Chains A and B, each alone.
Chain A
Amino acid sequence: MDQEAVFLTILGMGLVTYLPRVLPVVLLSSKSIPPILESWLQLVPVAVLAALVAPSLLVEDAQLALHSDNLFLWASFPTLFVAWRTKSLFASVVVGMSVVALARALLG
């Protein structure tokens, strides 16, 4: 995609992000969201993040990569552990990247 097409996509993203932010506060009260939609809305971010990250850890060159030199997969364990213990985005990313950088420096 060239940068102009990227910009047009960003405008579209801006619009679809703004609508759910603005419509309820302008039009609705809190009682008008059906509980089933509310449950679904709470599950969506989790589902998207998992659907996005799983392939980057488990797939290499269109093949399932559960082998021992899949660094991204093994680095995800310390990353998840730090995220779980510290609840800090920043600390988790720093630890994850350090593990990968160290492994690359040591194992070459």
Chain B
Amino acid sequence: MDSHSTSAFRSWMRGAGTGLPIILGYLPIGFAFGVLSQKSGLSNANTLFLSLIVYAGSSQLIAVSLFAGGAPALSIIITTFIVNLRHLLMSASLAPYLARWRKSALAAFAYQLTDETFALHSVRFASGVPAQAEVFGLNAAVQVGWVFGTWLGLIAGQYVPDVKPFALDYALPAMFLALLILFLRDKLQVVVAVFAGLLSVSLLLSGVNQWNVLLAALVAAILGVGLEQWIKKPSS
């Protein structure tokens, strides 16, 4: 091994080490996702493909729940799109730091951009962008952790024939509630969440039973923007 590749290897390992706190967080969530996806009727291969190809935790859990509820493919894809649109902001805010990177490196970097790696990168980039190998080492190690967690969940799921005594059927609702709390930052978001929930239930009760999630979410988020503009107006 020449000295150049040795130092690249060290950079990769340093990056992987930096990603360790994220990996420790991803393992149990990936595990839960693996179990839930299997119990929702997805094959083990498709469950792993979700973690490999889509690689966005909340949207993977949402999709599994939509698959189980018999939602049409188009509705699942559009819901995934709008849930993951938030990455636009993260990608845009990291862009200035990475202006010197090649397009191919940027394309690879963007593929592994998650809420958590974004948080870590944006703190680190502010005090200087590390070597490319270190950034990719971190991203790769974190995704390996996510896929590995998913795989462990698939293995464990095979030994749990009936989900009810373990309340595994409550794991998804519980996880969505917790994710919701983690996302909530101000009163406007609370109003939007309550409205989206009530609208989704109303649509479902009035017979709109496959598009209710997407419709309710879109309308609630648009009303939220309207409300925000309306609140801002008097002061400006």
Q: Does B150 contact A (CB under 8 A)?
A: no
- Are B174 and A26 neighbours in the complex by a CB distance under 8 Å? no
**Smallest CB gap from A5: residue in B:** B73
Q: Chain B: how many interface residues by the 8 Å CB criterion?
A: 98
List of A residues within 8 angstroms of B196 by Cβ: 46-48, 50-51, 54
**Smallest CB gap from B190: residue in A:** A46
Complex Cα spacing A10 to B32, Å: 19
CB distance from B197 to the nearest CB of A (A): 3
- Are A53 and B176 neighbours in the complex by a CB distance under 8 Å? yes
**Partner among A5, A7, A20, A83 whose Cβ is within 8 Å of the Cβ of B88:** A20
Give A4-40 as 1s and 0s: 1 = Cβ < 8 Å from B's Cβ atoms: 0111111111101110111111101110110010111
Q: How large is the interface on A (under 10, 10 to 19, 20 to 34, 35 or more residues)?
A: 35 or more
**Partner among A30, A99, A104 whose Cβ is within 8 Å of the Cβ of B93:** A30
List of B residues within 8 angstroms of A100 by Cβ: 167, 170
Q: Does B181 contact A (CB under 8 A)?
A: yes
- Are B92 and A28 neighbours in the complex by a CB distance under 8 Å? yes
Q: Does B131 contact A (CB under 8 A)?
A: no
Q: For window 23-46 of chain B, which residues contact chain A by CB distance below 8 Å?
A: 25, 28-29, 32, 42-43, 45-46
A to B CB contacts below 8 Å, 8 in the list: A17-B54, A21-B87, A44-B85, A45-B86, A59-B201, A63-B205, A97-B174, A101-B167
Interface pairs A-B: 10 shortest CB-CB: A54-B197, A96-B174, A92-B178, A100-B167, A24-B92, A51-B200, A22-B110, A83-B181, A16-B81, A14-B53
